[in-house]
Amino acid sequence: MKPFELPNLRNKPISILSVEKEFVIVDKPANFLSVPGRGPDMDDCVIKRIAQLFPHSNGPMSVHRLDVETSGLMVVALSRSAHRNLSMQFEKRNVEKKYEALLEGCIQKNRGHVELAFSLDWPNRPKRKYDPEKGKLGITEWEVIERDNNSTRVVFTPITGRTHQLRVHSAHELGIGHPIIGDSLYGNPQLADRLMLHSNYLSFDHPNTGNRLQFNIPTPF
């Protein structure tokens, strides 16, 4: 399988939507790493950019990540205590996330619930494969918000946060059975110049005050 090639985004700024003492909210561009990859040409990423902009941050910063091809909302910790608190919220599923996507074809159902276990397809990594025996279970709620002749716009609410979960659940015949448009691993990458998957909603408790926070951004496609 031909590896996914990252475009050069070194001169492209990332958008910071909100700044707190404990964390920042970032709008990650599509085809941009959340955390560093392997090799010197894979070091530019959200975490490195935030570390450069906030040199007084301390401790681990990465709380979660988006697939390199996915765009949208990320929270980045700026302190050890915030990292610990936010990581625990993700682990306990206290964080609510929503994604908007364009899927290939016209989906007849209006909404659905997908539970599929999958694991790394080692010979074709980083691709994942359906694996009901040894795979980790992924759970996704989805709802159609718009249809046309060749595509369907849906909102995903992932209950779990597995790598490639929404992409596998969209494409697999036991899931929705309609790949996300532009998916280089599970669909036809020739249909778009990017993966049509965007994290547009993020909600969690403030690490210090406990107040519920909500962040929304428009979908760029």
Provide the pLDDT confidence category of residue 37 given band limits of 50, 70 and 90: confident
Q: Could you tell me if residue 5 is inside a domain?
A: no
Q: Could you tell me if residue 1 is inside a domain?
A: no
Using the predicted structure, report yes or no on whether residue 41 has a pLDDT greater than 80.
no
Using the predicted structure, report yes or no on whether residue 4 has a pLDDT greater than 50.
no
Report the catalytic residues. Answer: 67
Q: What is the mean pLDDT of the chain?
A: 94
- For residue 54, give Cα distances in angstroms to 21, 77, 85: 10, 11, 19
Query: DSSP assignment, residue 55?
Result: T
> Do residues 24 and 79 make contact, with C-beta atoms less than 8 angstroms apart?
no
| Number of Cβ within a 10 Å radius of residue 142 | 24
**Domain boundaries, position 123:** 99-197
Q: Could you tell me if residue 156 is inside a domain?
A: yes
Query: What residues pair up with 180 in beta bridges, in sequence order?
Result: 103
Q: Which two tokens stand for residue 40?
A: 């010197």
Q: Could you tell me if residue 76 is inside a domain?
A: no
Q: Could you tell me if residue 29 is inside a domain?
A: no
- CATH number (domain holding residue 162): 3.30.2350.10
Q: How many domains does the chain have?
A: 1
pLDDT, residue 149, reads 87
Q: Could you tell me if residue 64 is inside a domain?
A: no
Q: Taking the chain, what is the end-to-end CA distance rounded to the nearest angstrom? A: 28
What one-character-per-residue DSSP string does 53-91 give? H-TT--S--BS----TT-EEEEEEESSHHHHHHHHHHHH
The model's pTM is: 0.92
Q: Could you tell me if residue 169 is inside a domain?
A: yes
